[in-house]
Amino acid sequence: MSSTERTDVLVVGSGFGGAITAYHLAAGGAKVVVLERGPWLTAPDFDHDFKLGSSYTRAFDFVVGEGMSILGGNCVGGGSVVYFAAMPRAPRFVFERHGSIGRRMWPAAVSRDTLDPWYDRVAESISITQQGWQDVTYAGGLWAAACDHAGRTANPVPAAVDLSKCTNCNWMMAGCHFDAKQSLLLNYLPAAVAHGAEIRPLHEVQQISRTGDGGYRVHYDVMDAEDYRLRGESGTIDAKIVVLAAGAGATPVILQRSEQTLGKMPHAVGRYFSGNGERLNTAILNEDKVREVLGLTREDGLGYAANQIGKGPVVASWDRLDGSLPEYTRYSLEQLYFPPGLGTILAEVPGATGPSWFGVDKKEILKRWQSWLIIFQMIEDDNEGVFGPPPAKGNADRLSQQMLGVGRLKYDPRPSTLRAWAMADAEVKDILERDGIAEVAAWTNDVVGAYTVHPLSSCRIGDDPATSALDDRHELRGHPGIFVTDGSAVPGALTVNPAMTISALAERAVPGIVRAAQERGVEVTYGAPAPGGGTSGRRGVTPLLPTLTR
């Protein structure tokens, strides 16, 4: 393709931040092109195995940094294709956090109250089910029973899952073969295409430069469909507006690499990275104690032995999500199924002294993998992550044909983060080791550092130019017409799964992007209904538009 190709809006990435903006801008009349680094997979492509070349390795991007590794989506639909579909709203106190800067991180214009109408827009567009106890899996039921036994509460988690289609196969992390999980492949993306948006898979954006008419030129490489280390032709597309939504592990890298052509980037680009405070614990359950203490039995006489059955997180304990508690002591504890692979490698042997993610004792606990229960912590971390100079291409140096790369992120957790993890670890042990129900150990950080499936904050919004890369409308400071709408715009850890908040912020950013496009001569309007045609959410945000289109 020649450098003369033009579009009104170029969107980088097709996850929550990219799909939502692409839909609204296309529905409003703009010419929209979406460049997605990964392949375009649909329900028939999603395999129930973990072999190299399956949907599992094709749709994921696992980047190992120094002290932190990121597991993210790498396909059309981005993280929505490989996430566990948990869609809670962030607690009210999250928006008042000070974090490492000693004052409110979030822009004054954004609070739980001002974001609620945008949450509603997302809920109108993506079918979200408030699961009941009748929908809870064996793993979720056991976690709820253990919490109750320990004097804690637990709640079913709202999820973007069509329960009438769900088979409880527990392969949703490799993409849903039954279209039960309400990924973006079923709502925003087909709606965007119906309005003329063009989605190009296997297109990896490298950098952005300026054009002579005040617009931007986006430079990309075409990726090989089987071996992501191989690249084909390169090309460029000129656009009046660029929306970056490549994920918090890739968006800052693109901007860092673009500094030589665009000019100086805001100080916060590639800084203040948060792993959403995530950490995992493995409990090795004692089946006899599960029956004796919790009174749980199944038809076959087992108390549990059901790790392979279910649909991801269905039950969470939110007792610590209390705004009256001090910062760094608030967190959620969520039951989670994590498939073989990283889970079996990083799990430690409970009670061991020294590293135990390998060795004879590890082999013994692996024999009982069906009796594992994984608990997912989301604490308030301190935004410690910093990206170093970008690699020559992409967001990482690719080590394998698919999935695995080495990135430039450095993460050195501060005492506040370490104390929060230790506090959450202790609570998980108190709940699950009570009366001998299980033995618990946190996953090791010795192999790939800390780890996150919800990277955030590497180009965050804010009011202070010294600590935020974007203004409160998600426009990149000093570079009008470039917007960031993925998880990197979220200022800090949310203490819950972030997909709903990322989506709400992307919805909120659209009116400002539309206004910027109009100012650059694009014939586009704001006001499209939800992808399915609903309009009640549109009415709810109408009073907020004057501020966002100022």
Q: Which residues pair with 461 in a beta bridge?
A: 470
CA dihedral angle for residue 139, residue 143, residue 144, residue 149, rounded to 10 degrees: 140
Closest CA to 282 of 366, 379, 171, 169: 366
Closest CA to 284 of 348, 358, 332, 360: 348
Q: Which burial class, exposed, middle or buried, applies to 50 when counting CB atoms under 10 A from its CB (0-12, 13-18, 19+)?
A: middle
Q: What is the pLDDT of residues 367-405, one digit of tens each?
A: 888 899 999 999 999 999 999 999 999 999 999 999 999
Inform me whether the pLDDT recorded for 311 exceeds 60.
yes
> What's 389's DSSP letter?
S
The share of the chain scoring above pLDDT 70, in percent, equals 99
DSSP string, 51-93: -TTSHHHHSEEEEEEESEEEEEE-STTTHHHHS--B-PPPPGG
Banded pLDDT at 303 (limits 50, 70, 90): confident
Judge whether 76 and 185 are in contact, CB under 8 Å: yes
Residue 31 identity: K
- Which ranges constitute the DSSP H helices of 263-381? 287-294, 342-346, 360-366
Banded pLDDT at 337 (limits 50, 70, 90): confident
Inform me whether the pLDDT recorded for 73 exceeds 70.
yes
Query: How far apart, in whole angstroms, are the C-alpha atoms of residue 410 and residue 271?
Result: 10
Banded pLDDT at 344 (limits 50, 70, 90): confident
Inform me whether the pLDDT recorded for 30 exceeds 70.
yes
Inform me whether the pLDDT recorded for 2 exceeds 70.
no
CA dist list (Å): 432 to 90, 130, 131, 391: 26, 26, 23, 43
Token pair for 130: 């408030």
CA dihedral angle for residue 328, residue 330, residue 332, residue 333, rounded to 10 degrees: 80
Q: Helix, strand, coil shares of the chain as percentages rounded to 5?
A: 30, 20, 50
Same fold for the pair 1-86+88-125+178-275+383-411+451-530 and 130-158+278-378+412-448: no
Phi/psi of residue 438, nearest 5 degrees: -160, 170
pLDDT at site 237: 98
Query: How far apart, in whole angstroms, are the C-alpha atoms of residue 470 and residue 462?
Result: 6
CATH class of 130-158+278-378+412-448: alpha beta
Mean pLDDT of 44-66: 91
Q: What is the pLDDT of residues 439-459, one digit of tens each?
A: 999 999 999 999 999 999 999
Q: What is the pLDDT of residues 508-538, one digit of tens each?
A: 999 999 999 999 999 999 999 999 999 888 8
Q: List the chain domain ranges.
A: 1-86+88-125+178-275+383-411+451-530, 130-158+278-378+412-448
Inform me whether the pLDDT recorded for 1 exceeds 70.
no
Banded pLDDT at 479 (limits 50, 70, 90): very high
SS3 95: helix
Closest CA to 454 of 413, 408, 417, 500: 500
Token pair for 50: 């973990």
Residue 365 identity: I
Closest CA to 440 of 452, 430, 448: 430
Token pair for 158: 């709202």
Query: How far apart, in whole angstroms, are the C-alpha atoms of residue 90 and residue 101?
Result: 20
Half-sphere exposure of 458 (CA within 13 A, CB side): 30
Query: How far apart, in whole angstroms, are the C-alpha atoms of residue 522 and residue 60?
Result: 35
Output the average pLDDT for the chain: 94
Phi/psi of residue 518, nearest 5 degrees: -60, -40
| Predicted model pTM | 0.97
pLDDT at site 415: 97
Q: Which burial class, exposed, middle or buried, applies to 20 when counting CB atoms under 10 A from its CB (0-12, 13-18, 19+)?
A: buried
Q: Which burial class, exposed, middle or buried, applies to 34 when counting CB atoms under 10 A from its CB (0-12, 13-18, 19+)?
A: buried
Query: How far apart, in whole angstroms, are the C-alpha atoms of residue 232 and residue 209?
Result: 21
CATH level 3 topology of 1-86+88-125+178-275+383-411+451-530: FAD/NAD(P)-binding domain (3.50.50)
The set of residues, in sequence order, having a beta carbon less than 8 Å from that of 519 and lying 6+ positions away, is: none
DSSP string, 440-457: EEEPPSTTT-EEESS-B-
Banded pLDDT at 50 (limits 50, 70, 90): confident
CA dist list (Å): 79 to 38, 222, 375: 11, 21, 21
